Amino acid sequence: MKKLVFVGAGSMAEAMISGIEASGLLPGERIWITNKQDNGRLRKLEQKYGIKATYDHAQLFFDADAVVLAMKPKDAAAALGEIQPYLEEGMLVISVLAGVSIAAIEAAAGKSLAVVRAMPNTSAAIGKSATAFAVNGHVSLLQKMLVKELFNTIGSTAIVEEYQLDAVTGLSGSGPAYIYYLVEAMEKSATEIGLEKHTAKQLIIQTILGAAEMLAKSEKEPGQLRFEVTSPGGTTEAGISILEQHGVQDAFISCIKEATAQSRKLGRLLGSELAGASRRF
């Protein structure tokens, strides 16, 4: 790849740039970036990663192989209106905009583009994102492999059908927040049962890391792993029985379904906004 362009300079763009450079996939001088108006942010990223930043769109998009749309979803319509003249037929466009469909991006662009819609999560900041992506019919096998390489620099990847991305958003896109919510509860309980906060945090983090590693390396189902820890009449059984009384598993299922439904709703709203804006371009 000769040149990769980021439109948007927030935390996800930085996470991707950091991962790409750390992996050696692309050197900094072949990565370009712009944003809406925060020049200070651009200069900071320029100095930190050795990338190039500009507000000159002709210079930004000249000879670019791929463009990453990483602005805030609410700014997508305005941003696509500005860059639309510089998007060339066959160019690879990678969107990390939650809820913005491939069809909406195609309509806003008004030309045949190879469009990828991806859903990473905030763990990209430490190279541990779970990213799923979908592609349109213009994405070549080589481009698909390139996208997989890009997102592998910030974690693991899975290719899905676009209709599944709302479910991905509800499950893994928002997933880190569910885990943090659980940890909050564990920390509060630790205080009430007499553990110091620092000690409790260490124990909680290692417990979560260990459980995740078991899930990753064991061929057993989660239910079987839980059963093996749950001795009859023991402490785990006592704790699990309280979770079941409070319907915690059902609450998590409802939580993920609601987040998925909200993703679909936001997608429809953003799609309508982009459709309206594209008629003005």
Cα dihedral: 9, 155, 22, 35 (round 10) = -10
Same domain, 39 and 95: yes
Q: Residue 93 is inside which H or E element, if any?
A: strand 92-95
In the chain (281 residues long), the average pLDDT of successive 10-residue segments reads 95 96 94 96 97 97 96 89 91 93 89 95 95 97 96 97 96 96 97 96 97 97 97 96 97 97 88 68 52
| 146, 95 Cβ separation under 8 angstroms | no
Q: Could you tell me the two tokens for 116?
A: 């990828």
Same domain, 139 and 26: yes
Helix, coil or strand: residue 208: helix
Same domain, 231 and 113: no
Same domain, 156 and 179: no
DSSP state string for 34-69: E-SS-HHHHHHHHHHH--EE-S-HHHHHTT-SEEEE
Q: Could you tell me the two tokens for 223?
A: 């239910």
User: Is 278 inside any structural domain?
Assistant: no
Q: Residue 114 is inside which H or E element, if any?
A: strand 114-119
Beta-bridge partners for 5: 32, 67
Whole-angstrom Cα distance, residue 88 to residue 208? 46
Q: Could you tell me the two tokens for 178?
A: 């569910």
User: Is 271 inside any structural domain?
Assistant: no
User: Is 276 inside any structural domain?
Assistant: no
Same domain, 40 and 75: yes
Number of domains the chain is built from:
2
Sign of the C-alpha dihedral, residues 67, 73, 76, 77? positive
Same domain, 153 and 181: no
pLDDT given for residue 107 in this prediction:
87
Same domain, 15 and 152: yes
Same domain, 184 and 155: no
Buried b (16+ CB within 10 A) or exposed e, 20-57: bbeeebbebebbbbbbeeeeebbeebbeebebbbeeee
User: Is 166 inside any structural domain?
Assistant: no
Per-residue CA distances from 1 to 55, 149, 171, 238 (Å): 22, 12, 32, 56
CATH number at residue 212: 1.10.3730.10
| 13, 21 Cβ separation under 8 angstroms | no
Helix, coil or strand: residue 130: strand
Helix axes 102-109, 76-83, angle to 10 degrees: 40
pLDDT given for residue 279 in this prediction:
59
pLDDT given for residue 57 in this prediction:
96
**Residue 148, domain extent:** 4-160
Q: Which residues contact 49 (CB under 8 A, 6 or more apart)?
A: 17, 18, 21, 28, 31
| 104, 270 Cβ separation under 8 angstroms | yes
Same domain, 70 and 156: yes
User: Is 186 inside any structural domain?
Assistant: yes
| 131, 121 Cβ separation under 8 angstroms | yes
Helix, coil or strand: residue 14: helix
Same domain, 127 and 226: no
pLDDT given for residue 277 in this prediction:
61
Phi/psi of residue 37, nearest 5 degrees: -160, -5
pLDDT given for residue 250 in this prediction:
98
Same domain, 204 and 80: no
Q: Which of 138, 160, 182 is the last residue of a domain?
A: 160
